[in-house]
Chains A and B, each alone.
Chain A
Amino acid sequence: DAGITQSPRYKITETGRQVTLMCHQTWSHSYMFWYRQDLGHGLRLIYYSAAADITDKGEVPDGYVVSRSKTENFPLTLESATRSQTSVYFCASSEQGTFSYEQYFGPGTRLTVT
């Protein structure tokens, strides 16, 4: 039982390039989330999805695009990477909404934009 996985775990890319971070969960959870974690900040929500084909912005969505064609996958795309997007990205899922249901986090992707 893999749970929630992210790929790649580490990525180095250049400014201006497009990069996609993958997230896959095996629990059939309805909700999925993308966060970024930076020194000096708590986890910040980028985008979330309540179900397949339903997505919504979080606190820091600029420069990011998401899609969710299948319940189990929630890719995050940086259309034109900038140095300010260097961060650790975490995917998470929850059975239903976050108000009453626990979130489960993936192992993270460390992205460096040079």
Chain B
Amino acid sequence: KNQVEQSPQSLIILEGKNCTLQCNYTVSPFSNLRWYKQDTGRGPVSLTIMTFSENTKSNGRYTATLDADTKQSSLHITASQLSDSASYICVVPSRPPNAGGTSYGKLTFGQGTILTVHP
């Protein structure tokens, strides 16, 4: 069964501090992994998509890493800001059998890590 597990469930940090969120997945076969940010009362917004061959990818103060061998990904937030308070969701699509990249691949969503940044 495909699974995506995130840790911690919640995290509280002070503004300006760094933090790292974890994602472990068992989705197979694997092609890419996505991190989304979901602000309270809003829909998820993509932060980054990492393919099998990428180890690190940055988007401003957000840096995602991927270890396809251990099936782990992390999202590192540098110099946190109050606006970083949100839920961060790890998502992994499954490769549809006998189909190409334009097909539907079932997305397995993690339950998210709720990050709270305090002033």
A98 touching B111 in the complex, CB below 8 Å, given contacts A108-B41, A108-B42: no
A27 at the interface (CB under 8 A from B): no
Which residues of A lie under 8 Å from residue B103 when comparing CB positions? 96-97, 99
Interface contact A96-B101, CB-CB below 8 Å: yes
Interface contact B111-A41, CB-CB below 8 Å: yes
User: Count the A residues whose beta carbon is within 8 Å of the partner chain — how many?
Assistant: 25
The 0/1 profile, CB within 8 Å of A marked 1, for residues 78-101 of chain B is: 000000000001000111100101
A34 at the interface (CB under 8 A from B): no
Interface contact A31-B104, CB-CB below 8 Å: yes
The 0/1 profile, CB within 8 Å of B marked 1, for residues 25-49 of chain A is: 0000001000000001111110010
Interface contact B43-A90, CB-CB below 8 Å: yes
Which residues of A lie under 8 Å from residue B96 when comparing CB positions? 97, 99
User: Count the B residues whose beta carbon is within 8 Å of the partner chain — how many?
Assistant: 28
Interface contact B104-A107, CB-CB below 8 Å: no
User: Which single member of B102, B106, B107 contacts A103 (CB below 8 Å)?
Assistant: B107
Cα-based distance from A6 to B111 in the complex (angstroms): 23
B45 at the interface (CB under 8 A from A): yes
Q: Which of B96, B106, B107 gathers the greatest number of chain A CB atoms within 10 Å?
A: B107
The 0/1 profile, CB within 8 Å of A marked 1, for residues 31-71 of chain B is: 11010000001111110010000000000000000000000
**Interface of B toward A, CB cutoff 8 Å:** 4, 31-32, 34, 41-46, 49, 89, 93-96, 99, 101-107, 109-112
**Interface of A toward B, CB cutoff 8 Å:** 31, 40-45, 48, 50, 56, 90, 92, 96-108
Q: When A and B form their complex, which 10 residue pairs have the shortest distance between CB atoms, in order from nearest?
A: A99-B105, A105-B43, A100-B101, A42-B109, A96-B102, A97-B103, A97-B104, A43-B109, A42-B111, A97-B102
